[in-house]
Amino acid sequence: MNDIFYLDRLDEWLKGMNETDLQELDYKYLGDTQVRLGHYAHLYEKGLELIRKEPHPKELLLNILDEYMARLEEIPELNSSSYNDNSLDEQTRENLKSLVMFGTQATLIKENSRIQAELRQANQNYRDLLSVVTHEIKNSLTSIYGYNRIISKRVREGRQDQVVEITAQVDRLSKKLFSVVDTLMNMALIEKNRLVAEKHTLNIIADVIEPVIKEMELQLSEKAMAVEVISHEDDVAVEGDMHLLQIVIRNLLMNAIQYGEQKTDIEIHVEKVQGRVLIDVYNQGQGIEKKYLKRIFEKFARFSNKGNRTNVGIGLFTVAHIVEIHNGSIKAESEPGRWMRFVINLPTI
């Protein structure tokens, strides 16, 4: 029987067959058993639509097994050549029809189980995202409210001590909120395939990298870190969207700060190579295991072993898509426990 039907591959067979293939299999293996595989291609789609609505797929599977195992036990030992003659009686033919139907229904159950598992994971990912975003917004707004109360009190008392430092914290938290909203909006645009780059001629160092470094000075100082930009040329021109490319650098720097070692330098190397611009963002820190590197740009990919609540795996997903719409590429490299780097490859002018 295994020569004819591998039940867990029936769905692959049906999807890959054209009408001529189906007719050939009908003739070679089924003869006049009144079974047509073409019918099952149609039944597959209809059955899949129905089974998605089945509230108890496990019970359905058990019922199918009970019904068809009784029929399959009655099928005699046969080899593939037996299908080319007319020696099969009507009952055996009917049981063969049951075998094909069983294979189709088993495939539907398997497909439904896969879809349900994917939906459960997707729902969990979005619940995690909602939880993190809510947590970030609440904490930031609580801090901003508290700082505002302090400033208000000191103004009433005619005091100015530490007001500059406090307003800097408010500024940092406000930018953090903008970043969260920005990332969510970009993710939504990516999912709808509507993220568009408004390209202009840019100096990748002066217009993209340096403004982001200045913006993140406070976060860097909190971990006693610094950023060193290393380039043989000051003017490295690209065609790109300044806002989107800043999002790329901002996300990579945030990762470097978050997972990098305190009191170390983050290095950003910029160089031209054969009509391309390479931007290498390197930090010392925990890194990531090599087996995860290929999946690091997937949506909701999370591999940190520090249980970081604020990471839901959408930053690098966004980064990869922004680089892609700039006709570029990005890759990640790491030595676990020592360093991490991201290398962006963009066309130059």
Where do we find the tokens 């046969």? 78
Report the range of poorest mean pLDDT among 177-191, 213-227, 235-249: 177-191
Q: CA 18, CA 39: separation in Å to the nearest integer?
A: 13
CB 82 within 8 A of CB 88: yes
pLDDT value at residue 8: 41
Q: What's the pTM? A: 0.60
Q: DSSP E strands: which ranges in 285-324?
A: none
**In angstroms, what CA-CA distances link 344 with 49, 125, 240, 249, 339?**
43, 27, 13, 10, 17
Question: 30: closest CA among 69, 78, 76, 84?
Answer: 84
**pLDDT band, residue 84 (cuts 50/70/90):** very low
Quick check: helix, strand or coil at residue 347?
A: strand
- Distance between first and last Cα of the chain: 63
pLDDT tens-place string over residues 248-271:
999 999 899 989 999 999 999 999
Sign of the torsion formed by the C-alpha atoms of 280, 331, 204 and 222: negative
Report the range of poorest mean pLDDT among 26-40, 219-233, 322-336: 26-40
